[in-house]
Amino acid sequence: MNRADAELWLTCLRREAGAQLRLLCLPYAGGGTLAYRPWAERLPHGVELWAAQLPGREKRLAEPPPDAMSPMVAAIADAVEPWDATSFAVYGHSMGAQLGFELARELRRRGASGPTRLLVSGCVAPQVPCPYPPIHALSDGPFIEELKKLGGTPDEVLRSAELMAFVLPVIRADITLSENYACRDEPPLGCPINVYGGLADPVTDREGLDAWQRQTTGPFKLRMFPGDHFFIDACGAVFFDALAADLQPSPTDSLK
């Protein structure tokens, strides 16, 4: 992948000279790089912040939203593969957790350097069926009602028929991808996995979050926070303190 193509998929949100770690963030359904821009002020010194920019949003608005996960994962892998000599971690929320997990697997298949750590939130382990009914095929009215329960979509957007007509196709396409995702049977990863969940999240449960432990031979940690699917918005500094601590390597970590 040439530099222009890589820049299409990846956006640097905070550059750090001599950074010890790059953190690549992957979006939830309907989300983009904007969701992670505030993180530039919250991450510890020495961490360079990057975000994946997916088709159908922001600078790629004219492109159709993705209709398959594998090509998207392959394209992101192409973009990060030159990071071989650089230590990087991957974070993803909800659909982004699935993308991050599959990205780590894809890099392993290529024999490339994968993330030193996988951090996921708001998503049950990939081998666990979602315990709640899918919503992607609902008609617009019921679909929007389910989005309200999840949170994450601003009220001003939900109240605007014009804005919803604009964003709904992307959100629906992403949720379709996420709900149709099927985890192939492969060996567990070797990097540490950190999992974060909301105690009142309507689409995850602690058992499903704890099952991520089966996907790593390295260290595993689960942290639960007050809040729903978008608990990070509610707990703020508490989450970022935990994230900063988890981004620090420990002597027991199994790093690639």
Active site residues: 94
What are the residues whose beta carbons fall under 8 Å from the beta carbon of 88, sequence distance 6 or more? 21, 22, 23, 24, 80, 115, 116
Total count of residues recorded for the chain: 256
> What are the backbone angles phi and psi of residue 210, rounded to the nearest 5°?
-65, -25
> Which sign does the torsion angle of CA 65, 205, 108, 192 carry?
positive
Following CA atoms 210, 216, 220, 226 in sequence, which dihedral angle do they give, to the nearest 10 degrees?
-40
Radius of gyration of the chain (CA): 17
The residue type at 213: Q
Helix or strand holding residue 235 (H, E)? helix 231-235
